[in-house]
Every structure is written in structure tokens, then in C-alpha cells.
Amino acid sequence: MKNPKLTVIIPTFNEEAYIGDALFSVAFADEIIVVDSFSTDKTPEIAKQYASKFLQRKFDNFSNQKNFALKEATGDWVLFIDADERVTHSLETEIKETIQNPKHGGYKINFPHFYMNRFLYHHSDDVLRLVKRE
């Protein structure tokens, strides 16, 4: 596939302290979709400045939020991140290389947890985060 497009999906609820940095870290993506659960802080204003699409949906569970946004995605590949996660430059490079020459239809990405304004490197989630849309 020549120049595959990447969509990033970020679910939010009252994430004004984190969403700006998360959006900045994925600015390389072709499309950024924020699906918000009717935040009462400044999350919507911040997200609307940087996201390609800003959607709102009443929260019932994370899977439904992500699937709702996935229906709006136009990219060949989709990366799911949380508002308090960051894509480093090295991960950005790895994602770009991976979607150019994929060996699989999905990839797990190990993000460190962010707690009390600090990254916790001793424990992280190893979750399927980068998937090819079919």
C-alpha cells in the first residue's frame, strides 16, 4: 500500500490537563478523532483546535466509545491512545515504518501509565493499539 493513512482515536472525559500534549504527540497523523463523553472542563475547546473530528457521545463503556469513533475514521490504519498517553518520536517513526510495510493486521503497543503527573515505567499495558482497517 502506497502512503497508507493513519487515524488516531482518543476517548476523553474532563482531560483538559492532558489532551493538548496528547494531540501534539500525534500531530503527524493524517486524521485525529476525539470522542468526548460530554466533558465539563475545557477538553472540548482544546480538542476542537487540533482534532480533525470532535465527536460527543454519552459514555457507556470504552469499547463503544472507540467503535463509535472508528465508524468515522477514514485512515487505512487506526491508533488508539488515551488522553494521558504520549507518542514519542521513536514510536512515531516505528508506526510510520510499520504501516508502510506491515507484517500483521494489528500491533500491541506498550504505553507506560501516567499517575499523579509522573510516568510509571515499572507497569504498563500491553494492548492492541494499532490496527489495520479492513
Measured CA angle at 20 (ends 18, 21), to 5 deg: 70
Q: What superfamily does domain 6-132 belong to in CATH? A: Spore Coat Polysaccharide Biosynthesis Protein SpsA; Chain A (3.90.550.10)
Flag whether pLDDT at 115 surpasses 70. Answer: no
Question: Which region, left, alpha or beta, applies to residue 116 given φ > 0 means left and ψ of -120 to 50 means alpha?
Answer: left
Verdict on whether the full-model pTM lies above 0.85: yes
Flag whether pLDDT at 127 surpasses 90. Answer: no
What are the boundaries of each domain within the chain?
A: 6-132
Residues 6+ positions from 42 with CB-CB distance below 8 Å: 16
Identify the pLDDT of residue 81.
96
